[in-house]
Amino acid sequence: MNAQELRAMDAAKLNEKLQEFRKELMNLRFQHATAQLENTQRIPQVKKSIARILTVLKEKQMETR
């Protein structure tokens, strides 16, 4: 998910995506801890997606002020 796609979404949809990615990250961490994770590169990808969403949310918040 790139920043342009995220900027096109409204705040409610962004918060929903943020919760999805946080749940996925938690599941990936559990899988990694129990040696069941096959694609270890997914963890940094999800972290970056979370950071992108938080950045876009902050930008939207600053625009409304």
Which one, of 24, 13, 31, 15, lies nearest residue 47 by Cα? 24
pLDDT band at residue 16 using 50, 70 and 90 as cut-offs: very high
CATH code linked to domain 3-64: 1.10.287.310
Structure confidence by residue, pLDDT tens digits, 39-64: 999 999 999 999 999 999 999 999 88
End-to-end Cα spacing for the chain: 27
pLDDT value of position 19:
98
More confident residue, 39 or 65: 39
Taking 90 as the threshold, does the pLDDT of residue 65 lie above it?
no
Indicate the domain borders of the chain. Answer: 3-64
State what percent of residues in the chain have pLDDT above 90. 91
How many CB atoms are located within 10 Å of the residue 29 CB? 13
